[in-house]
Amino acid sequence: MREKGMEKIESHAYDFVTKRLAPKAIPNDGKQTPMRGHPVFIAQHATATCCRGCLFKWWRIPKDRELTRQEIDFVVGLIMAFIKKEMEI
């Protein structure tokens, strides 16, 4: 049950990162990730992967281009590590 829940959360994480973070130009960058709601949103703020500004500031991922497949995997990895850690408490 828990495994299945994690897979679902991970697929949401990929979905959010691909649509809200990966494109080259994001009109509302800095505001695209709500502060509450989905556990992925909360994890994004906690891991500084909520917007391209934070990705650049904390992870040195340049803003002016699309994210690569590897960068998307990296971001989703950070999000999932945070969520797994939170759930063990």
Q: Using CB under 5 A as the criterion, which residues of the chain lie in contact with Zn ion when the complex forms?
A: 50-51, 54
CB of 50 to Zn ion, least distance (A): 4
For residues 51 and 76, which CB has a smaller minimum distance to Zn ion in the complex? Answer: 51
CB of 31 to Zn ion, least distance (A): 9
CB of 79 to Zn ion, least distance (A): 13
- Spatial distance between the Cα atoms of 44 and 49, rounded to a whole number of angstroms: 5
